[in-house]
Chains A and B, each alone.
Chain A
Amino acid sequence: MGWSLAVHGGAGPSKHRTYEAEEAHMTALLERGADMLDDGASALDVVTAMVRELEESGQHVDGKGASANSEGVYELDAAVMDGAARRAGAVAALVGFRAPILAARAVMEKTPHVLLAGQGAAAFCGRQGLEQVPDPAAYYTPAVKKALVQGELAHGTVGAVARDASGRLAAATSTGGLLNKLAGRVGDAPLIGSGTWADERVAVSCTGQGEFFIRAAVAADISARMRYGGQTLHAAAAGALADMEAQGGDGGLIAVDAAGNVTAPFVSEGMKRGIATSAGRFEVKTFR
């Protein structure tokens, strides 16, 4: 059986600039992910590794590229879901740790819980021995310098979805937040069924104005359209996104289904994205 992989670096890009560095990094990343899948790695391990690299790159609004919130604190969210076992782990408003996606994975694998938030989540990560950020001001290099104006919705997330050679699906999402984000604000990324989802038929990672993705439960909606409506992956993803847009939001998503189909629709100006499959498809793009 073949494999499929997709990654995204957020739906925030503006046509006022180019994204050559990001695209070059994403190309190298996809090649690494393709190698892993060729070697028989699990979808779960591959999406975790992809998101970990995106966090570390500092090129996107997550991980190293995150900005401080209105209190001057770097709060990060992440989630991972293993479709084969329908297991999930997530962290919200996590402060002080370098790899939110590894924190989410630890929640999934080391606790009976799904979502840990705030100081409690940080205490858990400390106990797990996850790598800390001793000096936030020195570590973080915000990918977007612009501050949010009061009430503006944050925008910027990374994610990965994969179907491995054994047919298992997984999704992972991680997000930082923009300068001046309201303290304690949580978007869709760590919410299972909103920004992140994987089951036996589809894996989804979303990016965009998270509030609208929560209200429409976009990721769960895609699975339901396929399950109950018999829709194809492309129709389901486009339809769920259109419903979200109809409420006034913007953004995009990547999704892969059990047959290995991949889709990456967006209703924003652009979305940093890459797709690779064992059938030879390989593309990295930011705009249409």
Chain B
Amino acid sequence: MIWRAAVATGVLVLACGVGVAAAQTTGPATAPAAAAPVTWSLAIHGGAGVIERSRLTPEQDQAYRAALSEALAVGAAVLARGGSALDAVEATARLMEDNPLFNAGRGAAIGADGTVTLDAAIMDGSNQKAGAVAGVMTTRHPISLARQVMETTRHVFLIGAGADQLARERGLEQVENSWFITPRRWRMLEQVLTEDGLPLPPRPPGLDLPPRPTSSMAGAQLAEDTRSVESRFGTIGVVARDSAGRLAVGTTTGGLTGKRWGRVGDAPVIGAGTWADRSCAVSATGTGEYFLRLTVARAICFEAERPGTSLQQAADTVIHRDLTGMGGDGGVIVMNAAGEAVFSLNTEGMYRGQVSSAAPARVMIYADEADGLVGTAAAARPH
């Protein structure tokens, strides 16, 4: 967008790079990917963090993969029938918001005061319009509220009671705050607050908790759970490219377990956790403060405009060089105008998936699950 000559060069390079990357990462079985042009494409994440094989039971592993597959199918259906990237992003994010496995909507992380406050952002790359909300407490689908901000107000960012008020005026479904709260997240909250020496808030009426772990081993497992990045800073995110070539992105999160003081992370901040323009879309998840200080999403799209830089290199440079260098953790999903999707993460895992008109759905959890997806030599690029 900005250095138009450079962009044109970059697109050519990227177009050439797609086939090479596909051949390297997926092997001979899916080699035809280079031949079939992508008309639409979708990629999602459900949070990044300390997700090791030893931490997830086979049942949990399968549940996450099923949830990711289901979300991909919903978005793919929108795109396959010619729907807009924006519609696909919203539909996919809504499903993930409702799934208690992810830290967004129902099952989101709970704050120190015992309430859930949700943040979300959506951005239309075709015109750089954006909408964002923070501190949402009663609106079931924050992503849809962010879209209302974008499409029905002249504003970009609404916070707190004003945001929920807009949702009511626009007829978006309202729920009690306790609807978002699940027993699993409440246990995590108890653990975090106890560790931090903070008082426990009153439990919402009707919330039945699973029995406290009795064995020290099970207790240790819960402690591990709460320290895991997944519980501390999960997020859901979607990027899509539609058959008209438009890019869009959406991100929703409950933020940190035990968060206080109205903390807002990177997810709703345009340029930090969420960004889309005509050539690039990014949704991020991780230690939000570092993503804010680096404007990670915007930075990746700037990197991708450098002549000779592949999308993967652009993402890896910001995640493995800049983010890691500053001490931050997390990952991103990135898509370019050609519909090429890449992931980059510096954590043990990130719940993620991708599907396009040219390739079947793939879902992944662990960092090492697909060769070449992370840690390419791009991190060594000169500054």
Contacts and interface: CB of A to CB of B under 8 A. Distances in A.
Interface stretch (A50-58, A114-122, A261-269, A280-288): A114-122
A221 B155 contact: no
Interface stretch (B83-91, B270-278, B355-363): B270-278
Contacts of B135: 117-118, 120
A215 B129 contact: yes
Contacts of A93: 159-160, 162
Interface string A111-136: 11111111111111000000000000
B262 interface: yes
Which of B135, B275, B288 has the most chain A CB within a 10 Å cutoff? B135
A118 B164 CA distance: 13
Given A93-B159, A119-B262, A183 B165 contact: yes
A36 B67 CA distance: 58
A243 B293 CA distance: 23
A143 interface: no
Contacts of A147: none
Nearest to A236: B2
Nearest to A93: B159
Interface in A212-234: 214-217, 220-221, 224-225, 227-229
Nearest to B292: A114
Contacts of B153: 151, 182
B155 A194 contact: no
B262 A183 contact: no
Contacts, number: 151
B157 A214 contact: yes
Contacts of B15: none
A47 interface: no
Given A115-B264, A151-B154, A215-B128, A192 B2 contact: no
Interface core residue of B1, B293, B298 (most chain A CB under 10 Å): B293
B249 to A, nearest CB: 13
A186 B160 CA distance: 10
Given A184-B158, A193-B272, A220 B298 contact: yes
A118 B262 contact: yes
A117 B294 contact: no
- A interface bracket (residues with beta carbon within 8 Å of B): 35 or more
B269 A115 contact: yes
B71 interface: no
Contacts of B161: 118, 183-184
A211 B271 contact: no
Given A92-B159, A185-B157, A191-B270, A228 B305 contact: yes
Interface string B118-159: 000000000011100011000000000000000001111111
Contacts of A117: 134-135, 159-160, 262, 264
A215 B160 contact: no
B261 A120 contact: yes
Interface string B295-313: 1001100110110000000
A117 B294 CA distance: 20
A84 interface: no
B293 A192 contact: yes
Contact of A185 (B128, B162, B265, B306): B162
A215 B156 contact: yes
A217 B2 contact: no
A215 B262 contact: no
B7 to A, nearest CB: 11
B270 A86 contact: no
A18 interface: no
Interface string B222-244: 00000000000000000000000
Given A86-B294, A214-B130, A228-B302, A194 B271 contact: yes
Contacts of B79: none
Most interface-central of B135, B156, B299 (chain A CB within 10 A): B156
Given A118-B262, A216-B128, A184 B160 contact: yes
Given A114-B292, A114-B293, A117-B262, A185 B158 contact: yes
Contacts of A210: 156
A221 B299 CA distance: 9
A229 B5 CA distance: 11
B262 A121 contact: yes
Nearest to A117: B262
B168 interface: no
B260 interface: yes
A214 B299 CA distance: 15
B193 to A, nearest CB: 16
A141 B256 CA distance: 38
B77 interface: no
A228 B1 CA distance: 13
Interface in A146-201: 151-153, 182-187, 191-194, 197
A211 B293 contact: no
A92 B6 CA distance: 37
B21 to A, nearest CB: 22
B282 to A, nearest CB: 12
A247 interface: yes
Interface centre among A152, A191, A247, by most B CB within 10 Å?
A191
18 contacts: A86-B326, A88-B293, A116-B263, A117-B134, A117-B159, A118-B161, A123-B261, A123-B262, A184-B162, A193-B271, A193-B298, A211-B155, A214-B270, A215-B270, A217-B298, A224-B2, A228-B306, A243-B1
Given A120-B135, A191-B269, 14 more contacts: A112-B289, A116-B264, A121-B262, A123-B262, A184-B162, A184-B165, A185-B157, A186-B134, A193-B298, A194-B271, A211-B156, A217-B270, A220-B271, A247-B128
10 tightest Cβ-Cβ pairs between the two chains A and B: A184-B162, A120-B262, A183-B162, A193-B295, A124-B261, A217-B271, A118-B160, A186-B157, A224-B302, A120-B261
Interface of B: 1-3, 6, 128-130, 134-135, 153-163, 165, 260-265, 269-272, 275, 288-289, 292-295, 298-299, 302-303, 305-306, 326
